[in-house]
Amino acid sequence: MTATLQRTAHFGARTIPYTLTFAERRTLTIRVHPDLRVTADAPLGTPPEEVDARVVRRAPWVLRRLRQYETYLPHLPARQYVSGETHRYLGRQLRLRVVGGEEEGVLLGRSELQVLLPDKTDRARVRALLTDWYQERAAEVLAERLAVCLPRVQYLGVAAPRLAIRAMSTRWGSASAAGRVTLNVKLVQMPVRCIDYVVIHELCHLVHPNHSAEYYRLLDRILPDWRERRDRLNTQELPAE
């Protein structure tokens, strides 16, 4: 008999997501895998919070192993902000085209993102224009997806949360006890199904703040295919900025 939970341990400013599996065994084992997965195997009946605490105690070792394995993985090149690069919007692959002209702006086409500016060799300005465009689009799209997803949990007494959108390096979203949901601006580059998974994940945290068994039962009820959506999101690697 086995059971599996998705858990998160916090070590200072770092967040360590890991998979917790309960099985017929006598010891608790923590492993870091070459694909950067962290897993814990615990005896049946072990309180999940006890495993969280063990992961936190082992966090320096876990983080060292993650850094070691990261050096073995292929890394996508940093953005150059020149014509021909691939950028994403709502899961679509778009080719960047930088065009010189008197006006400044970003235009979304069927297969490209066109950036207009007086000096098309000014890569810092291209980056700034794209950053502003993504922020504006994220504010619109993520608010819309929150409005679409909210009715799924309102029957539980969840009020419309305050929405914040910002760049985050270690997570796609978070929820606070004060009723605020924060979403990563880069979510606007992901497919809508992945966006909705993150939104519903955080809305469920307004009911159950921790990754408890009750939380995952609620997530299973609200979004039965959340694991498939999560796995797809985790494969959507973004180039370094």
Count CB neighbours of 173 within 10 A. 21
Residue 156 confidence (pLDDT): 92
Average pLDDT value for the chain? 89
Query: Residue-wise over 102-137: b if at least 16 C-beta within 10 A, else e?
Result: eeeebeeeeeebbbbbeebeeeebbeebbeebbeeb
d(CA 67, CA 63): 6
Q: In what order do the strands lie in the sheet with 3-11?
A: 3-11, 14-23, 38-43, 29-32
Q: Indicate the helix (H) or strand (E) that contains 5.
A: strand 3-11
pTM attached to this predicted model: 0.70
Nearest Cα to Cα of residue 69 among 14, 26, 32, 16? 32
What is the 8-class DSSP label of residue 86? E
Among 238, 217, 232, smallest CA distance to 6 is for 217
Residue 236's pLDDT is 65
Reference 196, options 167, 228, 169, 240; nearest CA is 228
Is the pLDDT confidence value at 134 over 90? yes
Q: Looking at per-residue confidence, does 140 or 32 come out higher?
A: 140
The two tokens of residue 133 are: 């465009």
Q: Quick one: DSSP state of residue 185?
A: G
Burial class (CB in 10 A: 0-12, 13-18, 19+), 172: buried
Nearest to 35 by CA among 60, 69, 6, 64: 69
Confidence of residue 71 (pLDDT cuts 50, 70, 90): low
SS3 content of the chain, % helix, strand, coil (to 5): 40, 25, 35
Q: Is the pLDDT of residue 209 over 60?
A: yes
DSSP 170: S
241 pLDDT more than 80 = no
User: How far is the C-alpha of 120 from the C-alpha of 83, rounded, in Å?
Assistant: 9
Residue 138 has pLDDT above 60, yes or no: yes
Residues above pLDDT 70, as percent of the chain: 93
Q: φ, ψ for residue 237 (rounded to 5)? A: -70, 135
Q: Name the least confident of 27-41, 207-221, 226-240.
A: 226-240
CA distance readout (Å), 145 to 148, 151, 204: 5, 11, 15
